[in-house]
Chains A and B, each alone.
Chain A
Amino acid sequence: MKPYIREKKSFDFSEVPKNTSFEAGYLVTVNSGWRSIRPVINQDKCVGCEQCYLYCPDGVISIKNKKAEIDYDFCKGCGICAGICRVGAIETEAERK
């Protein structure tokens, strides 16, 4: 199971866990605001070779139905995937808000 985004709660000091943090993979904030460029996968060109999935430092690319798919909540827009893709199926465009 992939880690997913949870509801962000506010804590007061008495509720802060005293031993470890929370359960493993507890995510409350996204990284999508970091992006200045946005990688987009051309589904027609993608051959599912999984190179982008391997080389993504954030692990946001997964393979569904033999095609790459990006989790834009956590993609930081580094652009490594676009450089690694041998068939040129990943294009980068400016991030628009």
Chain B
Amino acid sequence: MANKVAESISREEFFYGHKACAGCGGSLAVRIALKSLGEKTVSVLPAGCMSAVGFNFPQLCFSNNSIISTFAGTASMLTGVEAGLRAKGYKDFTAVGFAGDGGTADIGIQALSGAIDRNDNIIYICYDNEAYMNTGIQKSGLTPFGAKTTTTPAGKNIHGNIRPKKNMFEIAAAHDIPYAATASIGYLNDFIAKVQKASKIQGTKYIHVIAPCPTGWGVAPDKTVEIARKVVDCGLWYLAEYENGEFTLNHKPKEFSSVEEYLRKQGRFKHLTDEDIKIIADSRDKKWEHIEKTFSYR
């Protein structure tokens, strides 16, 4: 039984022997993205899990050219890498950045916004594990409502994070970016297709991929892929694209699975009351009203 998707990406491993936790979603996203882009890829990683687990002297787990950037400067360094290689006469290469949710939505948003404004020919991949996991699970701009982190603890009066998740995908799209997409590591076929599509488009590309963290989310290591599928199936995350000024929805669940079932599987949502879950379910319905109004579905 041949697997067409597996055939379409490189057989080589470019992110191998790293020290990420067992079952890490972020490392799966980085591994698959690099295999989709091939060996002529220069990757830029800011401070975050993927740079911490990939570069442990003398161990170097990246087999392609790879560099650590400042926390805020992923997109700026990508601009420099792309311009430098172009000035040296290289034509067939991809500059790709892998930043976490904090490095994208909080600390690196200015550099990313600048790069999209200049329309530099780069791919920016945000692996979203919904908190600053590398430093010990602090709340970021992409932490969802109700999630317990070390800086938003669950108490008697306040049940975890009180703010909703920033809509980073539509923020990137609002720049009128040539290509932006959302993905999930639970649906790799979709993610691989989006990375391959992005590599063929001229200009700045932004891909936002949900990558569950077993340590921070409080799920078993073997359940990260399953939970990344569940978050799409229950409607709290969606697979969509933005291209030529239009939003497209790629996957429409016929019927949403239970939000409660998804939340109760995770340690970070264990404290939620039924009312909190209703708030989350209602915000999902509101979000999907917006999606059905503005997104086309093919």
A58 with B16, Cβ < 8 A, contacts A22-B60, A49-B1 known: yes
Residues of B within 8 A of A25 (CB): 14, 16, 60-63
B288 at the A interface (CB under 8 A): no
CB contacts under 8 Å to A, within B212-238, are 214, 220-226
CB contacts under 8 Å to A, within B14-41, are 14-25, 27-28, 31-32
Count A/B pairs, Cβ under 8 Å: 113
CB distance from A86 to the nearest CB of B (A): 10
**A82 touching B58, Cβ below 8 Å:** no
CB contacts under 8 Å to B, within A61-91, are 63, 74, 76-80, 82-84
Residues of A within 8 A of B5 (CB): 54
**A55 touching B12, Cβ below 8 Å:** no
**B31 touching A57, Cβ below 8 Å:** yes
B59 at the A interface (CB under 8 A): yes
**B188 touching A55, Cβ below 8 Å:** yes
Residues of B within 8 A of A11 (CB): 58
CB distance from B161 to the nearest CB of A (A): 26
Residues of A within 8 A of B12 (CB): 1-2
Classify the secondary structure of A's interface with B: loop
**A27 touching B188, Cβ below 8 Å:** no
A94 at the B interface (CB under 8 A): no
CB distance from A14 to the nearest CB of B (A): 15
A54 with B55, Cβ < 8 A, contacts A49-B1, A77-B22 known: no
B90 at the A interface (CB under 8 A): no
A59 with B188, Cβ < 8 A, contacts A24-B66, A83-B226 known: no
Residues of A within 8 A of B225 (CB): 55, 80, 83-84
A27: which of B27, B59, B64 is its contact (CB, 8 Å)?
B59
**B221 touching A51, Cβ below 8 Å:** no
Residues of B within 8 A of A55 (CB): 28, 188, 225
